[in-house]
Amino acid sequence: MTNTENMGIQTVLHPVADLEKAKPVYTALLGIEPQADSPYYVGYTHAGQQIGLVPDRGGHTDSTPVAYWHVADIAAKIAEVTAAGATVKDAAHDVGGGRLVATVVDVDGNVLGLLQDQ
């Protein structure tokens, strides 16, 4: 693995029960209005970070925030981390605009997000 393949944590997604109720809290916390505001995602850009709110769709999301590591090749990174002992929680899938996301679980049960922009 080279350092250019791993672009670091740039996105943190927070699952919320109600986007409309959560949005004022995060707006107050960050001191800015969201740059993206839709029924499936509310996103803020603050200090070089993407902070996103995603709806909990019937308990299918995680109950805690997930940090997403931006990677150049999500399939290769999934192969690399699973070979090292992680397991796939959510396979890579397109969430719009060619953005691919996946989650894996490390050997201690921590959920790690992977994100690839195309």
Q: Which fold has domain 9-64?
A: 3.30.720
Q: At 3, is the pLDDT very low, low, confident or very high (cuts 50, 70, 90)? A: very low
pLDDT of amino acid 55: 86
pLDDT of amino acid 4: 46
Domain positions in the chain are: 9-64, 71-118
Average pLDDT of the residues of the chain: 88
Q: CA 34 to CA 45: how far, in whole Å?
A: 8
Percent of the chain with pLDDT over 70: 90
Q: Which CATH class name applies to 71-118?
A: alpha beta
Q: pTM for this structure? A: 0.78
Domains 9-64 and 71-118 share a fold: no
Q: CA 73 to CA 53: how far, in whole Å?
A: 24
Q: At 82, is the pLDDT very low, low, confident or very high (cuts 50, 70, 90)? A: very high
Is residue 37 pLDDT above 80, yes or no?
A: yes
